[in-house]
Copies of this chain bind each other. A is one copy, B any other.
Amino acid sequence: MDDPAGAEAPHHGYSHAKDAHLKRLRRIEGQVRGLQRMVDEDQYCIDVLTQVSAATKALQQVALGLLEEHLSHCVVDAARRGGPEAEEKVREASAAIARLVRS
């Protein structure tokens, strides 16, 4: 999607797979709405918990995909350009991995 000023949208690792990510995220939105219905209808706790785990796994899948694309584009490109930028990209990616592991 281009910027309003017509400048070309910034290109990131996931840009080529944008539609696939958006599709997954819309499905997860549907799962979360489904959870609201289950709670509203007083469905059994364990059944609600099963769906919470499913939505959590789906979010994780999105994160792992974004991370692989970030490594293979943003980090690899920065490494090829040389200089300190690659080190910063690795630091950022490692902090994101730590957040993911702990969430």
Taking A12-B44, A21-B39, A49-B96 as contacts, is the C-beta distance between A64 and B101 under 8 angstroms? Answer: yes
Interface positions, chain A 21-63, Cβ under 8 Å from B, are 21-22, 25-26, 28-29, 32-33, 35-36, 39-46, 48-50, 52-57, 59-60, 62-63
Q: How many copies does the complex hold?
A: 4
Instruction: Please report A residues at the B interface, Cβ cutoff 8 Å.
Output: 1, 9-15, 18, 21-22, 25-26, 28-29, 32-33, 35-36, 39-46, 48-50, 52-57, 59-60, 62-64, 66-72, 74-77, 79-80, 82, 86-87, 90-94, 96-103
Q: Could you say which of B12, B64, B77, B86 contacts A98, with CB atoms under 8 Å apart?
A: B64
Cβ A45 vs Cβ B79 within 8 A: no
| 15 more CB-based (< 8 A) A-B contacts, given A12-B43, A45-B69, A68-B91 | A1-B40, A1-B41, A10-B44, A22-B40, A25-B35, A29-B36, A49-B70, A52-B63, A53-B103, A56-B103, A67-B94, A72-B90, A75-B76, A76-B87, A97-B100
